Amino acid sequence: MNVQTRPAPAAGEPFLAAARDILGERLSTAAAVREQHSHGEDATTPVLPDAVAFPASTEEVSQLLALCHRFDVPVTPFGAGTSLEGHVTPVRGGLSLDLSRMDRVLEVSQEDMDCLIEPGVTRHALNDHLRADGLFFPVDPGSHCTIGGMCATRASGTNAVRYGTIRENVLGLEVVLADGRVIHTGGRVRKSASGYDLTRLIIGSEGTLGVITKIRLRLHGIPEATSAAVCQFETLRGAVESVIAVMQAGIPVARIELLDEVQMGACIRYSKLEGFEPRPTLFLEFHGSPAGVQEQAEAVEEIATVGGGMGFTWAADAETRNRLWKARHDAYWAATSLRPGSRGVTTDVCVPISRLAEALLGAKEDIQASGLTAPIVGHVGDGNFHCAILTDPNDPAEIERVWALDRKIVARGLALGGTCSGEHGVGLGKREFLEQEHGAEALAVMRSIKTALDPKGLMNPGKMFRN
């Protein structure tokens, strides 16, 4: 992998010496550690940070940010490195702030159905911790990401159609600002009419306004019954129109995921899914009482049959459900396996549910016209879908064709009243679309907020805005 280096380090020896006084051996300038923190899972050019810090407490984060503010050193927060829009690439070098060691579950209240965690806790680890209390955290982006990173990028995922995104499931935050000050936002109550909503300001700010060090989450009870279903279709249109009909009927599905025939074929091979054909496919899940789950599934089956669904396969046992959803979560790796050595440039378009067919089928036509391979998968119950456009990372001409296709798909989504990113965030990849989506005046307000909280422009520079 080609890694970009900066001609002059942003973090000089006086800064590094002071940072070592705070962290000791948990400040690393080793080449391998710096390379690991030079990129996420996206296709943007990696950039080496000058050093990587592994703080273990809010106090250490505060001391480090105050030090960076004093020495004018850029800071790029880092969780698990799974971001898809260049969020963790330290484009100006400086310090990569790895929060993965801040991974404690600090409090769980079964009575109030909430918990307090550090940002390095992963969704999998949290749900393992909560299971004995009959609770779970539903936001499921499908990767082994940290919940701090999920908050920073306003993550979503397969369960959002029923339980909402990370935004709806965070009650409050502890945040370290650019100069080292620590603030607390929100609280434990489910609603408040007190002051500006700073929690929602930080959610989705991608580390450009501060560093999240504690998170108060809303939890949910584990459903009494859970059932998964798979339905395959003759046509992609039939699958998409069935989704629209299900959502407009108000059926409370917990998950409804669409895979086109290319993605389904990749998943069959990669995850060894037996008994399925490479056809447009819906993966569904239903939560509730046994009677309620059966009622929901039967209602969806009826709609799918009208839309050309070819059979409705049930999976009530946990082992089969987990196998199906693991195949869905491994969709990106299945896609890239279609072309060994490739990387995927991932689109992330979200449109009103009534315009989903136009957006998704239009994207399919664009892909076919381009001659590129780009499997489609999506959280279609939210009007959200992704294309993993496969490319040779060493072929500049092909990469340009890939980005041209990405822009075309996003432009159609915006024209249909959608957004350039339903859940991946802006980072480096979606900056060019912000003014088109929000307007120049709204973008100017965003910049003014950034300047007020980070006057030196040190917090994850280059993200959200080009300057």
What's the pLDDT tens digit per position in 271-304?
Answer: 999 889 999 999 999 999 999 999 999 999 999 9
pLDDT at 1: 55
Mapped onto helix, strand or coil, the DSSP state of residue 96 is strand
Instruction: Please list the residues that pair with 211 across neighbouring strands.
Output: 176
As a whole number of angstroms, the distance between CA 89 and CA 431 comes to 14
Q: For residue 330, what pLDDT band results from cuts at 50, 70 and 90?
A: very high
pLDDT for res 272: 93
pLDDT of 298 reads 92
The token pair at 438 is 């929000």
Closest among 202, 229, 230 to 215, alpha carbons compared: 202
Q: How is residue 168 annotated by DSSP?
A: G
pLDDT (average), residues 349-353: 95
Q: Give the Cα separation of 14 and 302 in Å (integer).
A: 69
* pLDDT score recorded for residue 142: 76
pLDDT tens digits for range 184-215: 999 999 889 999 999 999 999 999 999 999 99
Contact 376, 258 (CB under 8 A): yes
pLDDT tens-place string over residues 61-91? 999 999 999 999 999 999 999 998 999 999 9
Residues in the chain: 467
DSSP codes, 295-348 = HHHHHHHHHHHHTTEEEEEEE-SHHHHHHHHHHHHTHHHHHHTTSTT-EEEEP-
The class level of CATH for 105-221 reads: alpha beta
What number does CATH give the domain 13-98? Answer: 3.30.43.10
In this model, does residue 233 exceed pLDDT 90? yes
Residue 5 has pLDDT above 70, yes or no: no
Residue 41: helix, strand or coil by DSSP?
A: coil
Whether 10 shows a pLDDT value over 90: the answer reads no
* Cα gap 457→207, rounded to integer Å: 11
Q: Report pLDDT for 405.
A: 97
How far apart, in whole angstroms, are the C-alpha atoms of residue 150 and residue 135? 19
Decide which of 41 and 65 is more confident. Answer: 65
Whether 305 has a pLDDT exceeding 80, the answer reads yes
- Looking at the DSSP bridge assignments, the partners of residue 221 are 135
- pLDDT reported for residue 237: 96
Burial of 53 (0-12, 13-18, 19+ CB in 10 A): buried
The dihedral through the CA atoms of 43, 348, 143, 153 has a sign that is: positive
Q: Please give the mean pLDDT across all residues of the chain.
A: 94
Q: Are 28 and 34 in contact (CB under 8 A)?
A: yes
| Strand 105-109 versus strand 95-98 pairing type | unpaired
Q: What is the pLDDT of residue 274?
A: 86
Alpha helices, H only, 119-250 = 123-130, 147-153, 160-163, 198-202, 236-248
Here the tokens at position 169 are 């499931």
Longest dimension (CA), the chain: 70
Report the distance separating Cα 14 and Cα 364, nearest Å. Answer: 54
Token pair, residue 374, equals 């780009």
Return the closest-CA partner of residue 66 out of 180, 175, 176: 180
Say how many CA atoms lie within 13 Å of 87 toward its Cβ.
28
DSSP-based helix, strand, coil % in the chain, nearest 5: 40, 20, 40
Strands (E), 51-145: 51-53, 75-78, 95-98, 105-109, 114-117, 135-136
Helices (H) and strands (E) in the chain, counts: 16, 19
Of the candidate CATH numbers 3.30.2080.10, 3.40.50.720, 3.30.70.2740, 3.40.50.1100, the domain formed by 335-415 belongs to 3.30.70.2740
Of the candidate CATH numbers 3.40.50.300, 3.40.50.10490, 3.30.70.2190, 2.40.70.10, the domain formed by 225-333 belongs to 3.30.70.2190
Q: Tell me the mean pLDDT in the region 215-244.
A: 95
pLDDT value of position 143 = 78
By the 10 Å C-beta count (0-12 exposed, 13-18 middle, 19+ buried), 231 is classed as: buried
Q: Answer whether 13-98 and 335-415 agree in fold.
A: no
Domain coordinates in residue numbering, the chain: 13-98, 105-221, 225-333, 335-415
Q: In this structure, are strands 220-221 and 135-136 parallel, antiparallel, or unpaired?
A: antiparallel
Residues 146, 207 contacting (CB under 8 angstroms): no
Concatenated DSSP letters of 256-296: EEEE-HHHHHHHHHHHT-TT--SS-EEEEEEEE-HHHHHHH
